[in-house]
Chains A and B, each alone.
Chain A
């Protein structure tokens, strides 16, 4: 058995660059096992993952990334399954990244979103991957964005990212997706809930699911009244850089029966078409994609800084500086500036 594995891909422990190159090439050529292995490397943040992402990132950017978020039990997984059916009927390929929470106690997780989607398990043009959040707050795993980059680069038309069940402020998905769908269930709150800051503000589309339940129409009407009333700022060119609230459409679906799902897919496509008609200048990336780039690079920067401070020659300096802060001999701002300068000298040398 061991020989087989060596023949198919470089053995465990092979040079990361070699293995990354082989896995990336195989994944792009349609090898789903290689794709799955790459996603594991990304989740585990191995050297293979970084090498593969460096190679794959330039070929990405074509997929439509859709984030689906909302409270636990609103029907996110069922809606994703219904969307898969609709997207496949249209002849498009689709990947799903479904995130579920990790136990803060044991690190274990139940990844149960697939239960609703298993009907598509054997369809080659559907790829479903569950991810545990592994302690990351915000509704996603810290590596979800990188996983999407790989799925994008291997050519999926649509990538659906399902967050963990969210509360009011897990808005990270909005900076990871082109289009953010916030799912609500009927009777989940009154008009004041609809005007609170947070999750609903980042929605490009709001979907009231379980549309066959009593109160769905009323919930949708309340959401429409409150969300569509958001004032438009930014009409003045001087305001162009100011953050502005979105004005999401409110749709009703019954994911379990598929009711309203064709309309949802059409709305997703319309939103995407609006995004690609570059709003500012020809070919400029959308705000959502700039936000994603910003989040990705910042996260890597933070990792890089942390890595530098963990190993020689800066580890001792970092430990001494932290101790000085703990003893109130140095303030934390001075300490941070000092360590940043040391990293700068280290990089320059």
Chain B
């Protein structure tokens, strides 16, 4: 089924009060034809995993600027896998040093989008990597 819209959850994990970037991305992906579930600020890994499951999203997009990515993102990946969502693509964006990217990828983050990434690049990556569903 490729004609159905791709559904993505955009979440801001942890204690980080800046969601302008997440909202711009949400809006941009809407314009790319995605169905974007926006959950708002200060989400715990448990809340994100549970929302991903209930919404049955294809993609989880995590926006994080606080520096806590090495703690929160692997934890979210673990919870998502434990919930059985092994066909969900997890992506991240925000302020994440290049040195941390390999470890995050090993933890299950499919892509890390840093500052300067265009919405089109994000959409293209997701379309190319989203897992098939029925």
| Residues of A bordering B, CB below 8 Å | 1, 4-5, 8, 12-13, 19, 32-33, 36-37, 39-41, 43-44, 46, 48, 102-103, 106-112, 114-115, 118, 121-122, 127-130, 132, 134
Contacts of A33 in B (CB 8 A): 53, 56, 83-85
Contacts of B32 in A (CB 8 A): 106, 108
Q: Would B133 and A110 count as touching, CB distance under 8 A?
A: no
Q: Would B33 and A32 count as touching, CB distance under 8 A?
A: no
Q: Would B133 and A130 count as touching, CB distance under 8 A?
A: no
Q: Would B36 and A5 count as touching, CB distance under 8 A?
A: no
Which B103-125 residues have C-beta < 8 A from chain A? Answer: none
Contacts of A4 in B (CB 8 A): 84, 86
Contacts of B86 in A (CB 8 A): 1, 4-5
Contacts of A128 in B (CB 8 A): 51, 54
A19 CA / B127 CA spacing, docked (Å): 26
Contacts of A106 in B (CB 8 A): 30-33
Among B40, B44, B54, contact of A127 (Cβ-Cβ < 8 Å): B54
Q: Would B54 and A108 count as touching, CB distance under 8 A?
A: no
| Residues of B bordering A, CB below 8 Å | 1, 4-5, 26-27, 29-40, 43-44, 46-47, 50-51, 53-56, 83-87, 132-134
A110 CA / B54 CA spacing, docked (Å): 16
Contacts of B132 in A (CB 8 A): 12
A324 CA / B100 CA spacing, docked (Å): 67
Q: Would A108 and B56 count as touching, CB distance under 8 A?
A: no
Contacts of B133 in A (CB 8 A): 12, 40
Contacts of A8 in B (CB 8 A): 84
- What's the nearest-Cβ distance from chain B to residue A116, in Å? 8
